[in-house]
Amino acid sequence: MKELELKYGCNPNQKPARVFVDDGDLPITVLNGRPGYINLLDALNGWQLVKELKEATGLPAATSFKHVSPAGAAVGTPLSDTLRKIYFTDGVELTPLASAYARARGADRMSSFGDFISLSDECDEATALLIKKEVSDGIIAPGYSEKALEILKAKKNGNYCIVQIDPSYVPPATEVKQVFGVKFEQGHNFLKIDESCLTNIVTKNKSLSEDDKRNLVIALITLKYTQSNSVCYVKDGQAIGIGAGQQSRVHCTRLAGQKADNWWLRQSPKVLSLEFVDGIRRADRDNAIDVYIGEEYEDVLAEGKWQAIFKTKPSVFTREEKKEWLSKNTGVAVGSDAFFPFGDNIERARKSGVTVVAQPGGSVRDDQVIETADKYNMVMCFNGIRLFHH
């Protein structure tokens, strides 16, 4: 099939809409539902991301995409009991692929609401059971087990979008897009990211563990498919904070750092001990947790709104308590799709537990950035690779 008609483009008024190829057949087959224009942008970007994560790490990979940027991305390492709890994996015996999706979805649950999922491997029953519980628009994978397909086809009253991709497909060397009637052409970004990108260590501390290397590679591959400017924090094989599409790099660093902080705060004893009213929906529970760890929770208490959420009145999570808990997070990696122009990015990253950094280098203030990293005994690699994506 060379062409697939879409319901509409980015918006309902943008008709007609289709995806097509000039030569050969489309590398995708729609098994269920009707994908939209943005769905397929998410699907095709996400597929490239997980395919490259699998190639780089040898582990099954998953990503949760929203509006052409990942909300989360991960490889299939085992989950701790705490992560199983905050990712709501109860009742599912996790396979490596299911663990990857639980991590990808759970990093930033608010942003992942209504995601498009990409999987590196055939979707198995365990992964489908996790997806069944979540609000999601669709999925792309190289295949589906019979049971997984049955589970997924039942979502959204039978309208859940299920796409299968040919894993052997290789895109043309040149890609073309059109904006305002003007055609743009460039070479496809076939750049391979692996541990060889991490050899130019410019800081005094040059000790990178195998986990550090894997986390930095995951950060860089994630950034390759994230709308620029972008910064990505990674820990234990999963992105824990992604700052996408910001005009200022330090705003990317702050946004991603705040998401990483929220991920860590969700694991605090105060959050884990929260008791919710019976029957609360998953999305409402996620939002309530974000409110609880945010500055506005005192307003919720003052206005007496807590009864609709919690069984008992939780005490305020004070700024001092949050600071103390955040100080326990360490071993975090951060990657940037372009150079850090000032040391303030390093200062902000340190507050979220960052100990290793990968960035292209090339700023006129590289010396200042290196000096800031040295101040905190960080390891920083200059990979010389810009990863802009638009």
Give the H or E element holding residue 74: strand 69-75
Q: What are phi and psi of 222, to 5 degrees?
A: -60, -45
Q: What is the pLDDT of residues 178-217, one digit of tens each?
A: 999 999 999 999 999 999 999 999 999 999 999 999 999 9
With cut-offs at 50, 70 and 90, classify the pLDDT of residue 260. very high
Rounded CA gap, 29 and 287, in Å? 35
Q: Cis omega before residue 360 (within 30°)? A: no
Rounded CA gap, 321 and 19, in Å? 51
pLDDT of residue 302: 62
Residue with tokens 């097509």: 20
pLDDT of residue 196: 95
Q: How large is the average pLDDT for residues 47-64?
A: 98
Tokens for 150, please give them.
Answer: 């049955």
3-state helix, strand, coil in the chain (%, to 5): 35, 20, 40
pLDDT of residue 47: 98
**AA letter at 262:** N
- Known catalytic residues are 66-67, 229, 390
**AA letter at 81:** D
Alpha helices in the chain (DSSP H): 37-57, 81-86, 96-106, 125-133, 146-153, 210-224, 249-265, 269-272, 282-293, 297-302, 319-326, 344-351, 366-375
Q: How large is the average pLDDT for residues 297-324?
A: 82
Q: How large is the average pLDDT for residues 322-340?
A: 96
141 CB-near residues (< 8 Å, 6+ apart): 118, 119, 120, 121, 122, 123, 163, 164, 165
Domains of the chain: which residue ranges? 3-169, 189-265+326-382, 279-313
Handedness of CA 14, 18, 19, 24 (dihedral sign): negative
Give this prediction's pTM: 0.96
Give SS3 for 152.
Answer: helix
Length of the chain: 390
In the predicted model, what is the mean pLDDT of the chain? Answer: 94
Q: Which residues of 216-250 are buried (b: 16+ CB within 10 A; e: fewer)?
A: bbbbbbbbbbbbbbbbbbbbbbbbbbbbbbbeebb
With cut-offs at 50, 70 and 90, classify the pLDDT of residue 143. very high
Question: Looking at domain 189-265+326-382, which CATH architecture does it have?
Answer: 3-Layer(aba) Sandwich (3.40)
Q: Which residues of 348-375 are buried (b: 16+ CB within 10 A; e: fewer)?
A: bbbbbbbbbbbbbbebeebebbbebbee
Q: How large is the average pLDDT for residues 287-315?
A: 79
Rounded CA gap, 141 and 154, in Å? 17
295 has a pLDDT exceeding 80: no
Residue with tokens 């390891």: 379
Tokens for 34, please give them.
Answer: 């009707």
pLDDT of residue 90: 85
Rounded CA gap, 43 and 37, in Å? 10
Q: Which CATH number is correct for 3-169, 3.40.140.20, 3.40.50.300, 3.10.310.10, 3.30.565.10?
A: 3.40.140.20
DSSP class of 157: G
Q: Which residue has the higher pLDDT, 60 or 22?
A: 60
Rounded CA gap, 30 and 162, in Å? 6
**Percent of the chain topping pLDDT 70:** 99
Q: How large is the average pLDDT for residues 9-24?
A: 93
